[in-house]
Structures are given as C-alpha cells and as structure tokens.
Structure 1
Amino acid sequence: MINRSSHRSVGYGQTATAEEIDAGLRAYMLGVYNYMTIALGITGLAAFGVSQSPELMNVIFGTPLKWVVMLAPLGMVFFLSARINKIQASTAQMLFWVFAVLMGVSLASIFVVYNMGSIARVFFITAAAFAGLSLVGYTTKKNLSAMGSFLIIGLFGLIIASVVNIFLASPGLEFVISIIGVLIFAGLTAYDTQRIKLMYIESDGSEVSQKKSVMGALSLYLNFLNMFMFLLQLLGNRN
C-alpha cells in the first residue's frame, strides 16, 4: 500500500513540477522583457530630453565631454558583465537604469539628425521585427548556438569596419555596414532569446534569477537598439 501510494505521488509530483517550471520560465522571461522595455523607455526619454536643450547639446557634443558620454555606456556593459556575480541584484538593476540613461544621452543627436516621423516609423518596424525574431528564438527546437558563434564573429568584423569607416567616411561602406548590422542583430535577437531561456534554472533563488534577468535584458536591449540604429540609417529621413 505504501509503495503504490508513493509511486502515485511521485507521478503527480512530476506533473506539478513540470507545470511549475513552465510557469517559472514564463515569469522569468516576462521579467527580462519588462526590464528591457523600461530601459528602452528611459533611453528614449533621456535622448529626447537632452535633444530639446541646445545648451546641453552644446556642452555634451560641442566639447571633449562627448567622448566620455559615448564611451561611458560601453564601460558600464563591461563593468556589469565582469561584476554581476559579485554585486547584489538591486545594484545590478540600478546600474542597468544608469546605463539606459547614459545611452539616451549619447543618442540625443538622432532627434536633431532625423525627423520625428521617421524615428517613430523605424522604431515600430524594429519593434515588430524584434518581437517576431524573439518569438522564433523562444519557440524553436533547433539549437542556435552555432549560429550565435558565427554572428558574434561577424559582430567583431562589423565593429572593425565601422571604425575604419570613421576615417574613410564612405557612404557606400556605411550602407553595406548598415545592412549587415541589421542582419547580425536580427540573428542575435533570436540566438540571445534562446540562450536567455536556457539560462533559467527552476532552483535559482530570487537574487540569482533577478541578476540573470538584468543581464538577459541587457543583451536584448543592445540587440534592439543596434537594430534600430542601423535601420534608422537605412530608412530614416534626415532633417
């Protein structure tokens, strides 16, 4: 009697555990997307707010301070990646919001270079593409790790080409870079979504889970923002 009862309990327990894991995964991914969405909103508000102040624009982009503003977000990414295991989840969240503000300040010039209509249009195109690509990454049964490795190598090549074009200032090369950039970050969106999903472990405590959510949101945020910027270069109407 005890053995049969125990066997039945294990069977029911396994079903319940599977359901709990599925619910936990959905909550975890929702947290990632919430962090990313809030960060994008902060970035947009910061960029628009700075762009509306000629004095701030002159101080930031008319002086050597522009290099600090442009490089600070990159420094934050490296710092978060290196220290995420040693800081508290609340600190990681705070640094993520600071990063979003710094990114907004560094991107304020897009509201001067491009008209609002094209910025809004490209944003919604990016959002629709991102949603579809992320859904593919979440639902596909295919392992995307090989594709991810290839895309990361391509990303390094893209960075080198972008640096070279700073000195060449070639419109043709800029066009090619923008197209390749869109394709790379589109692929990385699907790959990172799958990678973030696979990072979920049901037994993780709240602290670890929140840290993973922040780092996952950071990856998807960067994919979204870079895809948006490359699409804006391709489709945006300049003032």
Structure 2
Amino acid sequence: MSGSLSFGAAGTARSDRTHTLFAQTTGYLAATAGLFALGAYAGRGLPGGLGVIALVAAIGSLIGMQVTVRRSTPWTVTLLAAFGVLVGLATAPALAAYAGADPRALWQAGGATALFVAGFGAVGYATRRDLAIVARIGFWALLALIVFGLVLVFVDIPDGDLIYSVLGLVIFAGLTMVDFQRLRRSTDLDSAPLLAASIFLDVLNVFLFFTQIFSRND
C-alpha cells in the first residue's frame, strides 16, 4: 500500500513539474516574441551589415545560455532576452523589405505559422513514440538545407526559393514536434529558457519560410 502511495505521489509531483515547466516555457516564449517584435521595429532601417553583426551576437547569446543554464537562471533569462532583441534586429531589414513589397504576405505568413506550429506542436506533445530519430534526421537535414541555400546564392535553380522554403517547412515540422515532446517529457525547470529559445526558433523559421512562399505567389 505504501509503495502505491509513494508511486502516486511521485507521479503527481512529476505532473506538477511538467505543468510548471510548460507554463514557464510559454511565458518565456511570449516574452521573447515581444522582445523580437521590439527589436524588429527598432531595426527596420538597420543596414544589412549591422544585421549580420546582430545575428552573430544572437548566436553568441544562445551559446552563452548553454553555459549559464546550470549556473545562473537570471543570467540565462537575461541572455534569452538579449537573444530575442538581437534576432529582431537581425531580421528587421528582411521583414521591412517584405512589408514594403507586400504587407499582406506577412499577415498570411503569420496565420499559417500559427496553424502550423499549433498542429505539429500538438502532435509532438501528444505522441508517445520517441522522436529522437526525428531530431537526428532533422539536424542533418537542416545542415543540408543550409548548404542548399548557399548553392542558391551562386547557382540559378528554377523555383529554387520555393523548393528551399518547402523543404524548410518539412524539416521544421519534425523539429517542432521534437521540441514540444521535450516540453512534455522534461521535468527540469532550469531548461525552460532553452526550450523557449528552441521553440521560438522553430516559429521564426516557419514564419520566414511562409513569408517567402506567400511573397513569391503575389
């Protein structure tokens, strides 16, 4: 009897930690999205060169979070906030160009992104099958996509930008499911900022892929 009670108490504690992690992660995610919007607005007239510097600094913030996550939660959260602003500054020139050419594409991309992330996120959160293999395939596929993107800079491939965007959406469908499964399975509250950063990157990349597709169709 006592063993059953202990097992039940442990299960309840795990469930509580999972719910707390979900709440913290979504809170960090919302704050990061807000800071991204602030950075994108502030950097709408930013020269492309400074945007690259902001992107490098954002990557540095992510690396710094990996170091501080086990040492200082306040520092990790601070780096997450910096990451949000810096990514906003880095993508501001591209978003401003899309807005100037066709503002409707941004709204269409935003709606499609919300449905995409909600759908694949729900699948990843609900599935009980281990998605570790999807994570490994997604990692290598993402590296291959980056190489393909570099090829497109130098080689004119018919509909290359559309192919790039569709492949990107396929890859991030898998990565989104993986991240939401991690969110359900983890009970490590310290990982909330890192999970928020990972999910935010999923959302941002999906949004940019959809923006490119909808802009192309007009």
Aligned to 2:214: 235
Alignment RMSD (CA, Å) = 2.2
Who wins on radius of gyration, i.e. which is larger?
1
- Residue in 1 aligned with 2:81? 97
CA gap of 1:66–1:20, structure 2 versus 1, over 3 A, is: closer
Pick aligned residue for 1:49 from 28, 32, 42: 42
Match of 1:23 in 2: 16
Instruction: In structure 2, give the amino acid aligned to 1:34.
Output: G
> Residues 35 and 213 of structure 1 are in contact (CA less than 8 Å); yes or no, is this contact kept in structure 2?
yes
Distance 2:199 2:103 in 1: 24
| Structure 1 stretch displaced more, 126-135 or 114-123 | 114-123
Residues 69 and 105, structure 1, Cα contact 8 Å, conserved in 2: yes
2:69 and 2:76 in contact (8 A); partners too: no
Structural mapping, 1:54-69, within 5 Å: 57=45, 60-61=46-47, 64-69=49-54
Give distance in 2, aligned partners of 1:152 and 1:80.
20
Paired residues, what number?
Answer: 215
**Cα drift, residue 199 of structure 1:** 2.9
Q: Aligned partners of 2:47 and 2:156: how far apart in 1? A: 19
State the identity %.
23
Letter in 1 for 2:88: G
In the alignment, does 2:59 pair up with 1:74? yes
Contact 1:137 1:192 in 2 (8 A): yes
1:113/1:238 contact within 8 Å kept: no
* 1:170-209 paired onto structure 2 within 5 Å: 170=157, 172-201=159-188, 209=189
The one-letter amino acid paired with 2:124 is G
Which deviates the most, 67-76 or 97-106?
67-76
TM-score when scaled to structure 1? 0.81
Find the aligned partners of 1:79 and 1:169 in 2 and give their Cα distance: 37
Q: For 2:214 and 2:56, locate their aligned partners in 1 and report how far apart those are by CA, in whole Å.
A: 26
Q: For the residues of structure 2 that align with 1:183 and 1:40, how far apart are their CA atoms?
A: 23
Distance 2:155 2:216 in 1: 23
For structure 1, the residue ranges without an aligned partner over 5 or more in a row are: 1-6, 52-56, 202-208
- Trace 1:36-185 onto structure 2 (pairs within 5 A): 36-51=29-44, 57=45, 60-61=46-47, 64-81=49-66, 83-85=67-69, 87-109=71-93, 110-114=95-99, 115-168=102-155, 170=157, 172-185=159-172
Name the CA distance, whole Å, in 1 between partners of 2:88 and 2:32. 10
Unaligned ranges ≥5, structure 2: none
Q: Given the superposition, is the C-alpha separation of residues 161 and 237 from structure 1 closer, same or farther in structure 2, using an over 3 Å criterion?
A: closer
Runs of 4+ in 1 over 4 A off after TM superposition: none
Q: Is the 8 A contact 1:122 1:236 kept in 2?
A: no
**TM (normalized to structure 2)?**
0.88
Deviation at 1:112, TM superposition (A): 3.0
